Amino acid sequence: MSESALVVGVTGIVGSAISRLLLDRGWQVAGLSRTPTEQQGVTPVVADLNDPEALKSALKGLAPTYVYLATWSRQATEAENIRVNAAHIRNVLDALAVDGSVRHVALVTGLKHYLGPFEAYGKGALPQTPFREEQGRLDVENFYYAQEDEVFAAAARDGFTWSVHRPHTIIGVAVGNAMNMATTLAVHASICKHTGRPFVFPGSAAQWNSLTDMTDARQLARQLLWAATTPAAANQAFNIVNGDVFRWQWMWGRIAQWFDIHPAALPSETQPLEQQMANDAEVWKTMASQYGLQEADITRLISPWHTDADLGRPIEVVTDMSKSRKLGFLDYQATDDAFFDVFTQLREARLIP
């Protein structure tokens, strides 16, 4: 009998990656989302995470043994982020408790565990880099902490094991995703090529010059599966990055080369993408018509605010992977190839020219 999993947030970058991996391994996969898209092999479960009764009805009898929580809803304030996103986790796990089938729950959060939430991002006293899992919570409110606490409470009540996964910026493909640097940069580069606009790095000098790392969604999916099925990894939190480090001054040139454009020099003042792309909606509509692209609404593809937050940080951000490596997770992914794979998929899907 094959293993069964419920993926919450199945249409996102992480959810689609873990679903594909599990299906490739012969698992039965159900995918929960409010407005699901057709994904071959995935059983769709339609429910609103804000509605506990609807969730109980939708999940009744599903009885998954593994649960992957890979979703969040952006709110106007961190207090609202905490209220809404903690409730989402609680509502799902309460609904699943009825059948009592769950053996392991994996929660995806991120490096805001160390850097703080958006309202206090990269400010105040921060842990030394590289970030390590034993570094405690910051003394600020953070919806990641609230999500963790919901998982911990349900695990104590229902007897399942858990894992928490903290990726850096995730590289992957998903249309309509709120945090999608690779597609955002692909659209930006495509517009620069089409218009002749300089391909200007939108971040800080610190990010341009310092070492950093990122997380391919496929690498994260592999760790999610490993942690769920490795007894030594139970009830622990793990950082997850690709395993290489780079400087953006190098990576910017690599991305420019892929799109056959020239990288601009680092400007003397930061030029955020939200500023650079503020008037690009009509340009993209024209490009979609000219090149036969599948998505003419640029807002479905880009998240410049999130890319600006990552690339504008005033500090070095490097992540330690020793903990999971010592336990046997040895997978690796070159970050430039991760970008190129996404760009290739976007082009093959006619989402970029």
Supply the residues annotated as catalytic: 112, 144
Give, for 143, the enclosing helix (H) or strand (E): helix 143-158
Residue 30 — φ and ψ, nearest 5°?
-110, 140
**Which of 31, 28, 4, 35 has its CA nearest to residue 16?**
31
List the structure tokens of 342: 């996404």
DSSP of 176-195, one letter per residue?
T-SS-HHHHHHHHHHHHHHH
Chain centroid offset of residue 71 CA: 9
Measured between alpha carbons, how far is 156 from 150 in angstroms, rounded to an integer? Answer: 10
DSSP of 233-289, one letter per residue?
GTTEEEEE--S--EEHHHHHHHHHHHTT-PBPPPPSS---HHHHTTT-HHHHHHHHH
**Residues whose CB is less than 8 angstroms from the CB of residue 80 and which lie 6 or more positions away in sequence, other chains included:** none
